[in-house]
Chains A and B, each alone.
Chain A
Amino acid sequence: MRRLWLTTLLLCSLSSTLLHAEESTLSQHPQWLSLLHFDRHTPFSPPRSAVIDDAFFLAENGRYDPHAELDATLAALREPPSATGTHASCQFPARAMWLSSKTGEQWPSADCPEFSEWQSTHHGAGLGLMFATGYLGNPASFFGHIMLHSASGQSIGASSDPQHLLDTSLNFGADVPSNDGMITYMAKGLFGGYNATFSNASFYRNATLYSEREMRDLWHYQLRLTDQEASLLTAHLFEIVGQDYEYLFLSQNCASRIARTLELVIDEDLTPGISPWVAPEDLLRTLSTAEHHGQPLLADTRHIPSRRLTTQRQFTALNERQQRAANAVWQEEDDLRLQAPEFTKLPAAQRSDVLDTLLSHASFLRQTGDTEQLPEIERQLLQARLRLPQGDTQANHPKPPAIHEVAPPALVNVSGVHNSHSHHALRMKFRPLQYDLLDTNRARMPNSAVEIANVEINADEQGVSLQRFDLFNITNLHTNAITLPTLPQTAWQISAGIHRNRLSCRRCFDGVANLLGGKSWSLGSHLPYALAGAQLRTQRHYEGVAVPMIKAGIISSWSSRQRTHLQLTHRRNLGYDDRQRTEWQLQHRVALSTEWDIRLELQRDQSATEASLGFSRYF
């Protein structure tokens, strides 16, 4: 009897030890850590969950101790259910599913009405991502925005779903008080102070915001997940919607959080481990090359054009007579002439196309600034269109390249330089983000540039020296690509950095900030612009802290691979002395592939002329 008791005790002890060992292993399992949103270890902070809501954890120390949270979760799952919807398997269905699959345990059956409704809504849904392209109306949107997307009932590879507006978006965004100003917003965004949450809404709301209001193209990235993976991820999304997370604009943002969430079912690091920032584009590029169960993870992409692009496409698709008719009908913002002979003489089907384009343009104008007459103009357009037969006769438009198919944002350029004053040098340029006016790809905001932390270094017989540093250089030429009337739109450029005072001087550095506004025009493949404003600067080598400045240039697109930018800059030292500074610069880019290009640059100021030729690598 004593032997039997000892044997039983030993077996229990062994079983307990084995169970403990198994739980220790499970608590460090990557999927368990993903379920708890424990981010990768960093040298600067102990491991912890990015979720800051106490309600997300069942153990008192669960945010910092995945093993304690595992113990507490198992204990809660084994409890018999009490009130409807309160059992741990109702609150944490993904944890319940995953732990059941790992331990083989079955949990007491519980009534979970909220989760059942969630499951029913997302049953059979295709999970993927929705990417909104960059937007220059807000610094936080320069690099685009990304959301999780649940496409109800969609089969993998389906290129279009007529009901896609009713899909669900899960948006990870910072909860910003409406009274926080831009400075507070940027400071808290960069250094901490905001919480963020996942929220869910019908996709049409996001389509309205991004496509119709902010004129941003949307891209749906459809992922190839198994039914089991989709089921686990769907259950996990139920767990995390509404939970408060840490938020940092550069590293704890929509892209990094969605990457961590997807890593629950994708056994791959979806974001760079050492980069100080994670951009939506980084995540999409990783997803586009990832393999999952021996197949490409990315099943398909679908383009949802902005209202601006839709109108441009419709106008461009009109024949010459129709375009003349459109211009005759709507010559000025507040003047519609539906009796214009150029329009009335067209056949009905062609008039329909013209009116469809004008209706779309009216929709565009509504978002870019109302004119007093716009509601009446829209009414007249609606009435005119309703008198014609229904149906859109315009052809489908080819899908442009998606963001992962164009040149990556980081650039390294090595050039040989000849300077008429200091002779030969080797120049290395590094631009971590994002794109410039010479980039010809169509996946980014047209006729704009966002350059961050661009640094250029020269090496010559006198040693290594800084050429220039641009903290940021943001340009939006705001060009109207079609000839229909628009409200005046300001082209602008804002930049700050450290520049040489003149081409002939190695060490004449000053801090410089430029603020310019003006206008641009679209002349076929050429885009001239003129900007005026001021330059603020330090006075180590300059005279005058603020001087007026004008800039004029032309960007010419010769083909999809070649673009030239000619720019003339003039600064006048009003009130200081008579010296004026005029510089010109000619840049030409030849894209060899999405990863390589050749750049030629000529520039001249009052002190020297400089020419450079080099190769760039994008990554």
Chain B
Amino acid sequence: MLKRSLTAAVALLGATTVLTLSTTTFANDHRGDINPWQHCGIGAAIFDDNTTAAAISNVIWDSGTTAVTSATISPDTCESEEVKVAQFIDETYDQLAMEAAIGEGEHLTAALGLVGCDASNSASVAQLRNDLSTVSADASYSSMSHEDKAYRFYNSLNQAATNCSAS
């Protein structure tokens, strides 16, 4: 019985590791435009897990703390509008996913506004809902890293922006 449990645990660990690696590499291997999470250090300790410490210090913000981690990406690239969009998604992904599922909300409106779309543009919202539906259809979504979820939403939003400008 113990052996069987151990085997199952090892199998589960292996499956989880493969799953984690595969989801992480999605962001790393992307060869299109810049990946703000990979190249500009987005999400690195904007909030730590210790919310008490964050509250104690009243959180001193500094919009210039995002680190440039790739020699091929210049600091200017990481000051671009695209990175601002990525920062917004990284910070508010949970609200964005919820509002995308509902189809409306302040975070969704702001995200669409950042890419030049009006929240009333039904094609853009439909694009985001479809993409979220696809990405969350598999149970692996619940163990996907925050960065990968945010990066996929970022790509989806860019696609929605294309639809929006085309309509």
Interface residues of A (CB under 8 A from B): 135, 137-138, 140-141, 145, 162-166, 169, 171, 173-176, 178, 185, 197, 199-202, 204-205, 208-209, 212-214, 254, 352, 355-356, 359-360, 363, 366, 375-376, 378-379, 381-383, 385-387, 389-392
Given contacts A359-B98, A359-B101, A390-B102, contact A140 B56 (CB under 8 A): yes
| Complexed CA–CA distance, A141 and B133 (Å) | 40
Contacts A171-B60, A201-B63, A386-B133 given; indicate if A363 touches B94 (C-beta within 8 A).
yes
**15 new A-B pairs (CB below 8 Å) besides A173-B58, A205-B46?**
A135-B55, A140-B55, A165-B92, A165-B107, A174-B58, A176-B58, A178-B57, A199-B60, A199-B62, A200-B63, A204-B88, A205-B91, A379-B141, A390-B102, A392-B105
Q: Are A176 and B57 in contact (CB under 8 A)?
A: yes
Do B98 and A360 have beta carbons less than 8 Å apart?
Answer: yes
Q: Which of B54, B98, B109 contacts A163 (CB 8 A)?
A: B109
- Interface centre among B46, B58, B102, B109, by most chain A C-beta atoms within 10 angstroms, is B58
On chain B, the residues within 8 Å of A164 by CB distance are: 106
Contact B58 A202 (CB under 8 A): no
> Contact between A145 and B58 (Cβ–Cβ < 8 Å)?
yes
16 pairs across A/B with beta carbons < 8 Å?
Answer: A135-B55, A138-B52, A166-B88, A173-B58, A174-B57, A175-B60, A176-B57, A202-B87, A204-B91, A356-B102, A359-B98, A363-B94, A383-B136, A386-B129, A386-B133, A391-B104
Least distance between B156 CB and chain A CB atoms (Å): 13
Q: Given A138-B56, A204-B92 in contact, is the A390-B98 Cβ separation under 8 Å?
A: no
Residue of B nearest to A374 (CB): B142
| Contact residues on B (Cβ < 8 Å of other chain), bracket | 35 or more
**Are the C-beta atoms of A202 and B88 separated by less than 8 Å?**
yes
CB contacts (< 8 Å) of A254 on chain B: these are 58
Query: Which 5 residue pairs of A and B lie closest in terms of their CB atoms, listed nearest first?
Result: A390-B103, A173-B58, A201-B61, A375-B142, A385-B101
Interface flag for B26 (CB, 8 Å) = no
Residues in B with CB closer than 8 Å to A163 are 109-110, 113
A204 contacts which chain B residues (CB < 8 A)?
Answer: 88, 91-92, 107, 110
User: Known contacts being A138-B52, A390-B103, A391-B103, is A173 close to B133, with CB within 8 Å?
Assistant: no
B1 at the interface (CB under 8 A from A): no
Could you say which residues of chain B place their CB within 8 Å of the CB of A386? 101, 129, 132-133, 136
Please measure, in the bound complex, the distance between the C-alpha atom of A164 and the C-alpha atom of B110, giving whole angstroms. 8
Name which residue of chain A comes closest to B57, CB basis.
Answer: A176
Q: Which residues of B contact A (CB under 8 A)?
A: 46-47, 51-63, 87-88, 91-92, 94-95, 97-98, 101-107, 109-110, 113-114, 119, 125-126, 129, 132-133, 136-137, 139, 141-143
Contact A138 B109 (CB under 8 A): no
Looking at chain A's contact residues, is the secondary structure mostly helix, strand, loop, or mixed? helix
Chain A CB count within 10 A is highest, among B46, B52, B55, B114, for B55
A359 in complex: contacting residue of B51, B102, B143, CB < 8 Å: B102
Q: Would B55 and A214 count as touching, CB distance under 8 A?
A: yes
Pairwise interchain contact B132-A165, C-beta atoms closer than 8 A: no
Chain B residues positioned under 8 Å from A382 (CB to CB): 97-98, 101, 132, 136
Report the nearest A residue to B61, measured CB to CB: A201
Residue in B57, B103, B110, B113 whose beta carbon sits within 8 Å of that of A173 in the complex: B57
Complex Cα gap A159–B129 (Å) = 29
Residues of A within 8 A of B105 (CB): 392
Also in contact, A208 and B104, with CB within 8 A (given A138-B55, A375-B142): no
A171 touches B129 (CB 8 A): no
Give the CA-CA distance A164 to B105 in the complex, in Å.
12
Contact A376 B139 (CB under 8 A): yes
State in angstroms the CA–CA spacing of A128 and B52 once bound together.
Answer: 27
Kindly state the separation between the CA atoms of A389 and B136 in the bound complex, as whole angstroms.
17
